[in-house]
Amino acid sequence: MQTMIRPALNILTNCALCRLKAAGVFAAMCACMVPNAWAGYDFNIPQPGTPISQQIYGLHMYILFVCAAIFVIVFSLMFYSIFKFRKSKGVKPDVNFHESTLIEIIWTIIPFIILIAMAIPATKTVLDMKDTSNPDITVKVTAYQWGWRYDYSAEDFGFYSNLSTPWSQIGQPGTPATEEKGKDYLLEVDNAMVVPVGKRVRLLVTSNDVIHGWYVPQLGVNQYGIPGFIKDVWFKANEVGTFKGQCSQICGKLHGYMPITVIVKSEADYAKWIEESKVKFGAKPLTASLPASASVEDANKKFTLAEAKEVGIKIYAANCIACHQTTGKGMPGAFPALSGSKVVQGPIDAQINVLLNGRPGTAMVSFARLSDSELAAVITYTKNSWDNNTGKIVQPADVKALRKA
């Protein structure tokens, strides 16, 4: 073995080209450390925005410091001993530590103290995180594949919050992205959650289908949403601002496409937002099981074809595109094409029923949670797009009639 390694080593250390290469690699490594090359990257966890995340941040720094100190002390001692007392210098051990009770006691007690010193503040923070008492406002958060719903039950309204990054930035299989990715790519939503600054906000987190996670790092919240259970968690934002997060569980095909945006407003702005939202969201059904409240206003609306298509394409983009695709061609074997579909080209009622009830046992779930006018618009859109030219317009009243039945 030795005879083989020696010559190889000689070639390596003597070869000028190799040395040049090594120098190049080293230079490249140095270049990476120039701050410019790293602009836009953060090395630490994000700046805290709540007292809890402040505590988490503090714990992170404290424990990192303890680990770094242990690392430096242990490795310096080790390398010092290895170097200073190496065999080639002819050093002979004059002390023997084998079976030393004193040493064993010391190396048990010191780590014990270190662990306790880390466990006490960590436990305190965990207890604070779980203390959801005395909330100022409560918001119910329902996760579903793939978006969020926020219910401000005390104010009698709720709304869905979906990804709003356009598909032209994301692209799809067979359809590459046509637009530059924006600054908040995959972190933008249509309707953000809004809370008042300096108030204890309690979240009741649950899920409509699979396990999701409501995760906003700067608010110090990462809470499972589990179907059939309601978990509570809280935060209190220090300052007004916008906080971004994402679902933290791998919850299916589009798990990376369910961002969270929380906007913290001053108390006056929050009160204004509540009033506006009552008007904007109040008329919609609260949950899929309460379709009766689908608004009366909707039912009186009469769409023209152009109007319905204009609204419909937005509803389609937010709710259907992931499976049936922009092209309406779906994905063979998994999601049927709507373009050319007999159901879509066929009678209005049959298609409304598919949307209201879903197809049990398949990925096509009920979309009864959309309002009458939203469903009317999206159905009209599918009936008059791609290869479908039925000219049929579905009106909110048509949806309402079948919803009641």
The residue ranges that bind ligand HEC (CB under 6 A) are 319-320, 322-324, 335-336, 338, 341-344, 351, 354-355, 359, 362-364, 367, 378, 382
Exposure on the CB side of residue 38, measured as CA atoms within 13 A? 11
Q: Closer CB to Cu ion, residue 143 or residue 377?
A: 143
Q: Closer CB to ligand HEC, residue 84 or residue 342?
A: 342
Is 264 one of the binding residues for Cu ion (CB under 5 A)? no
Q: Rounded to 10 degrees, what is the CA torsion of 133, 134, 140, 141?
A: -60
Q: Closer CB to ligand HEC, residue 218 or residue 351?
A: 351
- 66, amino acid identity: V
How far apart CA 45 and CA 48 sit, in angstroms, is 8
The option from ligand HEC, Cu ion, none interacting with 247 (CB < 5 to 8 A, set by class) reads Cu ion
The option from Cu ion, ligand HEC, none interacting with 251 (CB < 5 to 8 A, set by class) reads Cu ion
Is 149 one of the binding residues for Cu ion (CB under 5 A)? no
Q: Closer CB to Cu ion, residue 146 or residue 381?
A: 146
Is 355 one of the binding residues for Cu ion (CB under 5 A)? no
Q: Closer CB to ligand HEC, residue 48 or residue 328?
A: 328
Closest approach of Cu ion to the CB of residue 255, in Å: 5
Q: Are strands 201-207 and 147-152 parallel, antiparallel or unpaired?
A: unpaired
- 252, amino acid identity: G
The option from Cu ion, ligand HEC, none interacting with 92 (CB < 5 to 8 A, set by class) reads none
CA distances from 332 to 173, 325, 336, 337 (A): 12, 11, 6, 8
Closest approach of ligand HEC to the CB of residue 256, in Å: 15
* SS3 readout for 21-85: HHHHHHHHHHHHHCHHHHCCCCCCCCCCCCHHHHHHHHHHHHHHHHHHHHHHHHHHHHHHHHHHC
How far apart CA 313 and CA 134 sit, in angstroms, is 43
The option from ligand HEC, Cu ion, none interacting with 319 (CB < 5 to 8 A, set by class) reads ligand HEC
Q: How many residues does the chain have?
A: 405
Q: Are 381 and 318 in contact (CB under 8 A)?
A: no
Q: Closer CB to Cu ion, residue 258 or residue 376?
A: 258
Residue 335 carries which DSSP code?
B
- State the CB neighbour count (10 A cutoff) for residue 253: 12
Closest approach of ligand HEC to the CB of residue 379, in Å: 6
The option from ligand HEC, Cu ion, none interacting with 25 (CB < 5 to 8 A, set by class) reads none
Closest approach of Cu ion to the CB of residue 397, in Å: 35
Closest approach of Cu ion to the CB of residue 145, in Å: 7
Closest approach of ligand HEC to the CB of residue 336, in Å: 5
Q: Which two tokens stand for residue 247?
A: 């679902």
Q: Are 150 and 159 in contact (CB under 8 A)?
A: yes
Q: Which two tokens stand for residue 165?
A: 């990054």
Q: Are strands 221-225 and 231-235 parallel, antiparallel or unpaired?
A: unpaired
Closest approach of ligand HEC to the CB of residue 349, in Å: 12
Closest approach of Cu ion to the CB of residue 355, in Å: 23
- State the CB neighbour count (10 A cutoff) for residue 222: 15
The option from Cu ion, ligand HEC, none interacting with 359 (CB < 5 to 8 A, set by class) reads ligand HEC
The option from ligand HEC, Cu ion, none interacting with 62 (CB < 5 to 8 A, set by class) reads none
Is 251 one of the binding residues for Cu ion (CB under 5 A)? yes
Binding mask 228-247 for Cu ion (x = CB under 5 A): -------------------x
Q: Rounded to 10 degrees, what is the CA torsion of 47, 53, 55, 56?
A: -90
Closest approach of ligand HEC to the CB of residue 321, in Å: 8
Q: Closer CB to ligand HEC, residue 273 or residue 335?
A: 335
The option from ligand HEC, Cu ion, none interacting with 385 (CB < 5 to 8 A, set by class) reads none
CA distances from 221 to 50, 115, 216, 285, 362 (A): 10, 25, 6, 28, 33
Q: Closer CB to ligand HEC, residue 195 or residue 355?
A: 355
Residues that bind Cu ion (CB under 5 A): 212, 247, 251, 255, 258
